C-alpha cells in the first residue's frame, strides 16, 4: 500500500532532520587551527613543480590536502601582509598598518582573539605581526597571540640561534588545557635574509639545477644566491615535518586545519616589496584530515584577508564585523578541483610606504588589479624610484649578492628591478607570469586597460581606500617605527 505523505508529515520530517543536523554540528569537534607561515617564501617546492629543492613535507601537504594555485597577498611586504591575515582586511583598509614598520591599530578584530574568546587555547612562535610597534596602541601581546619562545636551536652557522619552532609548538601543546581546541601561529623567520653566502654550494647543491627567472641574468652569482635561499626553504620544510609528526603523535593531525603559506615572494630584487606577480603570488597548502578531500588542486583566487573569516567559520563562529575577506570553507569542503567558485576570479594589490630612503620619507604608492588573464598596475608617483632612491641604496630591496650584481652593472636587468616605471603598466599575466612585457602602450589593449582601471578604482572606492577618496595625504602622515639609519635626512648629513 502506498501511503500518501501529508503536508504535516513533510514538515515534521524536515524539522526532525534539521534538528539532527544541528545536533551533529554541535557534537562535531571544533578543529585545531595551525597557521604555518614562512617569511619571504615564494612557494618554491616540489609541491609547486620545482625540482631544485627537497621539500618532502610541503609535497606531502599537497598530496594529502588542497594545493591552491592562485593565492595572493594584497601587499607584498611583511607587516602589511601579516596585518591583512590577522584582521581579514585589505591593507588600505588598515589605517597605519598599511605601511611596513608601522603601528598596529587596536580598532580591528584579529582572529586569534576571536578564537580565544570562544574557548580556543592560542599561541605563537617565531614571527607574528611585524616588524613594527603594537604596544603603543594598547596591545599587550603580539596580535598573532601570546609568544611561546621556549627553545632555541644550536646555531648551524656563526652568530645565529634560530628558534626551535617545532619544539616550541610541542611545549605549547603540552600546556594546553584538556579538551580545548588550539589555534597556533607558527611563523618561521626563514627564508628571510640574511643568508650565509655560498651555503647552498657548500651543502652540495648544484647551480645547474636552479631555474633562474628571466628578469635576472643567468650567472653563477644569481644561481648561488638562489641555492642559499633553497637551503633556508628546506629548513622550513623540516620544521613542518616535525610539526606533522607531533600532530600525529598526539592524535590531533586529522582534527587540525593546517594552513601552510607565506607573506609574499622571495627576498630578491623585483620580487619582495614590488607589485609584480612573483611578489604577491604566494603558496597555499591546506590539510584538514577527513573533513576535506585531499590530493586536489584548486584554481580559485584566495586572498590572505580570507584566512581570518575561514578560520572563524571552521570554528563555528561568524566573521567579526570589521572583516572584509570571505571565508572559503565552502571551497575546501566542496571536494572539487579546478575552478570551484567562479566568482573568485579577481583581486587587488597595492602598497604605500615600505622602507625609508626617499626625500620626506615618501612611499611609492601603487594599486593594481589581477584577473585570470591580466595585471593592470597604476603607479601614482612615477617620478619616484620604485625600489628606493639610488643615493640611499634602494632600501626596498634586501641586500644580497644578486642585488649587488645588478646595481654594479646598470644595464637592462638593473632597470627591470630598480629603474623608474611608467604611470601605467599592463601585463598579459596568464601568458607572461614574470611580467616582462608591458602592454600599456599597445593600442589594441586600450579598451581592456580602461575596463580594468575602472573596475579597480570602483572596488577601491567601495572599500574606503583613502587614496581613492581624496585623502591620500593621510599616508604621508604615518610614522615609521624602525631605525632611521637609511633615511634621506641621514644620507644628507653625510654629504
* Closest approach of Ca ion to the CB of residue 181, in Å: 28
Judged by CB, which is closer to Ca ion: 85, or 308?
Answer: 85
* Closest approach of Ca ion to the CB of residue 116, in Å: 25
User: Which 3 state secondary structure label does DSSP give 410?
Assistant: coil
For residue 68, the cross-strand partners are: 284, 298
* Closest approach of Ca ion to the CB of residue 482, in Å: 14
* Closest approach of Ca ion to the CB of residue 100, in Å: 9
Grid coordinates representing 479 are: 610614522
Judged by CB, which is closer to Ca ion: 88, or 130?
Answer: 130
Judged by CB, which is closer to Ca ion: 145, or 265?
Answer: 265
* Closest approach of Ca ion to the CB of residue 76, in Å: 9
Judged by CB, which is closer to Ca ion: 230, or 329?
Answer: 230
Judged by CB, which is closer to Ca ion: 40, or 237?
Answer: 40
* Closest approach of Ca ion to the CB of residue 309, in Å: 23
Determine the residue with CB nearest Ca ion: 78
Grid coordinates representing 226 are: 638562489
Grid coordinates representing 281 are: 603570488
Angle between helices 220-249 and 165-175 (to 10 degrees): 20
Grid coordinates representing 75 are: 601587499
Judged by CB, which is closer to Ca ion: 225, or 263?
Answer: 263
Grid coordinates representing 30 are: 571544533
Q: Which residues contact 493 (CB under 8 A, 6 or more apart)?
A: none
DSSP 253-320: GGGEEEEEEESSS-SSTTTTTSSSHHHHEEEEEEE-GGGS--SEEE-S-EEGGGHHHHHHHHTT-PPP
Say if residue 455 is exposed, middle or buried (CB neighbours under 10 Å; 0-12, 13-18, 19+): middle
Judged by CB, which is closer to Ca ion: 263, or 277?
Answer: 263
* Closest approach of Ca ion to the CB of residue 303, in Å: 17
* Closest approach of Ca ion to the CB of residue 464, in Å: 26
Buried/exposed 36-64: b ≥16 CB within 10 Å, e otherwise: bbbbbbbbbbbbbebebbbbebbbbbbeb
Q: How far apart are CA 107 and CA 104, in angstroms?
A: 9
Strand-strand pairing, 121-126 and 182-187: parallel
- Residues found near Ca ion in the complex (CB under 5 A): 39-40, 78, 263
Judged by CB, which is closer to Ca ion: 78, or 304?
Answer: 78
Amino acid at each position: 500500500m502506498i501511503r500518501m505523505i501529508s503536508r504535516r508529515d513533510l514538515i515534521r520530517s524536515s524539522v526532525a532532520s534539521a534538528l539532527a543536523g544541528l545536533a551533529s554540528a554541535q557534537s562535531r569537534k571544533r578543529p585545531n587551527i595551525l597557521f604555518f607561515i614562512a617569511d619571504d617564501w615564494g612557494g618554491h617546492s616540489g609541491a609547486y613543480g620545482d625540482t631544485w629543492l627537497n621539500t618532502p613535507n610541503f609535497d606531502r601537504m599537497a598530496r594529502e590536502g588542497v594545493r591552491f594555485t592562485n593565492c595572493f597577498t594584497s601587499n607584498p611586504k611583511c607587516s602589511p601582509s601579516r596585518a591583512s591575515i590577522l584582521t581579514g582586511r585589505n591593507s588600505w583598509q588598515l589605517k597605519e598598518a598599511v605601511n611596513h614598520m608601522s603601528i598596529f591599530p587596536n580598532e580591528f578584530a584579529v582572529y586569534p582573539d576571536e578564537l580565544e574568546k570562544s574557548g580556543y587555547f592560542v599561541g605563537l612562535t617565531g614571527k607574528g605581526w611585524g616588524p613594527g610597534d603594537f604596544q603603543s596602541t594598547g596591545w599587550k601581546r603580539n596580535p598573532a597571540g601570546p609568544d611561546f619562545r621556549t627553545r632555541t636551536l644550536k646555531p648551524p652557522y656563526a652568530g645565529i640561534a634560530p628558534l626551535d619552532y617545532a619544539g616550541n609548538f610541542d611545549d605549547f601543546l603540552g600546556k594546553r588545557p584538556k579538551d580545548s581546541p588550539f589555534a597556533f601561529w607558527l611563523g618561521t623567520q626563514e627564508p628571510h635574509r640574511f643568508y650565509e653566502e655560498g651555503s647552498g654550494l657548500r651543502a652540495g647543491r648544484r647551480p645547474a639545477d636552479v631555474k633562474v627567472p628571466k628578469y635576472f641574468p643567468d650567472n653563477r652569482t644569481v644561481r648561488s644566491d638562489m641555492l642559499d635561499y633553497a637551503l633556508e626553504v628546506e629548513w622550513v620544510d623540516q620544521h613542518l615535518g616535525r610539526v606533522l609528526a607531533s600532530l600525529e603523535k598526539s592524535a590531533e593531525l586529522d582534527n587540525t586545519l593546517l594552513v601552510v603559506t607565506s607573506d609574499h615572494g622571495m627576498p630578491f630584487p623585483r620580487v619582495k616589496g614590488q607589485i609584480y606577480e612573483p611578489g604577491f603570488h604566494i603558496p597555499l597548502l591546506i590539510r584538514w584530515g577527513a573533513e576535506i578531500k585531499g590530493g586536489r588542486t584548486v584554481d580559485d583566487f584566495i586572498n590572505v584577508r580570507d584566512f581570518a573569516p575561514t578560520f572563524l567559520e571552521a570554528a563555528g563562529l561568524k566573521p567579526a564585523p570589521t572583516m572584509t575577506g570571505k571565508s572559503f570553507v565552502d571551497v575546501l569542503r566542496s571536494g572539487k578541483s579546478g575552478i570551484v567558485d567562479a566568482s573568485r576570479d579577481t583581486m587587488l594589490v597595492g602598497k604605500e610606504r615600505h622602507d625609508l630612503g626617499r626625500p620626506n620619507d615618501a612611499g611609492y604608492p601603487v594599486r593594481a588589479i589581477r584577473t585570470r588573464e591580466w595585471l593592470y598596475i597604476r603607479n601614482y608617483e612615477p617620478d619616484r624610484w620604485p625600489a628606493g632612491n639610488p643615493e640611499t641604496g634602494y632600501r626596498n630591496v634586501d641586500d644580497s649578492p644578486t642585488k649587488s650584481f645588478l646595481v654594479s652593472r646598470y644595464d637592462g636587468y638593473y632597470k627591470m628591478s630598480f629603474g623608474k616605471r611608467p604611470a601605467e603598466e599592463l601585463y598579459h599575466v596568464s601568458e607572461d607570469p614574470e611580467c616582462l612585457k608591458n602592454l600599456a602602450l599597445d593600442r589594441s589593449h586600450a579598451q581592456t586597460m580602461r575596463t580594468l582601471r575602472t573596475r579597480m578604482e570602483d572596488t577601491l572606492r567601495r572599500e574606503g581606500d583613502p587614496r581613492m577618496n581624496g585623502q591620500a595625504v593621510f599616508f604621508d602622515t604615518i610614522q615609521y617605527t624602525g631605525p632611521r639609519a637609511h633615511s634621506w635626512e641621514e644620507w644628507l648629513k653625510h654629504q
